[in-house]
A = this chain, B = another copy of it.
Amino acid sequence: MAQKHEASDSAVRRLPRYYRLLQELERNGQNHTSSRELGKRLDMTPSQIRQDLSCFGCHGQQGCGYAVTELRENIERVMGLEQPLSAILIGAGSLGKVVSENVHFEQRGFRLIGIFDIKPELIGKTLAGLAITPMHHLESFCAAHHPAAAVLCLPKESAQAEAEKLVALGVRGIWNFSHCDIVVEQAEVVTVHLDDSLMTLSYKMHNQT
């Protein structure tokens, strides 16, 4: 893998799409691909593809393009999927249940090591193979296990304060499902805005040709 260049936020957001497509090509037994093929499949120009991939140190070879497996492995490495980070999930209500049971944490760079909730009736129940722990154990848990990331499945009213608390406890990445933007220093935040996705569908349907 060659030297990395500064990658734009959009290029970073496209990485998982490259990754999924390459996995699909691999499953279909394809050994090589080109920026033209990738571009066609992802609705991008070949030069955009080459530029994106070169940002992450992935360069094709003139005439034979990219080796599928090598490119997939490079992207996996760039995204850190080979070095899973420990994560805890806060909020074991219906949203937390769906997230913990439907997301493939292990294949996406994370390992869930704890699930927390404030509601007494949930304590001791199991979610994704983990016993739900009372919130007042969070501090001692973080001191003992140093989770790197937290998944926030909380009502938006409490999300910002909880995020600040988690960062103070050493968490340096937050996956936020709380329907609001969170601002914390010294941590990366990725927010899932389901409403944004739905509005995109609305736009597309109103501008359908």
Chain B nearest Cβ from A22, distance in angstroms: 13
- Complex Cα gap A95–B109 (Å): 22
With A98-B95, A200-B13 known as contacts, the answer to whether A206 contacts B83 (CB < 8 A) is: yes
Q: Which of B19, B194, B199, B208 contacts A99 (CB under 8 A)?
A: B194
With A108-B199, A175-B197 known as contacts, the answer to whether A204 contacts B192 (CB < 8 A) is: no
Asked if A25 is at the interface (CB within 8 A of a chain B CB), the reply is no
Asked if A70 is at the interface (CB within 8 A of a chain B CB), the reply is no
Q: Place the interface of chain A in its size category.
A: 35 or more
- Complex Cα gap A183–B82 (Å): 31
Q: Which residues of B contact A199 (CB under 8 A)?
A: 15-16, 19, 79, 81, 108-109
Q: Is the CB of A110 within 8 A of B188?
A: no
- Complex Cα gap A142–B110 (Å): 42
- Complex Cα gap A173–B148 (Å): 38
Would you give 9 A-B contacts (Cβ < 8 Å), ordered by A? A9-B43, A13-B200, A15-B203, A79-B199, A80-B203, A80-B207, A94-B101, A103-B195, A108-B202
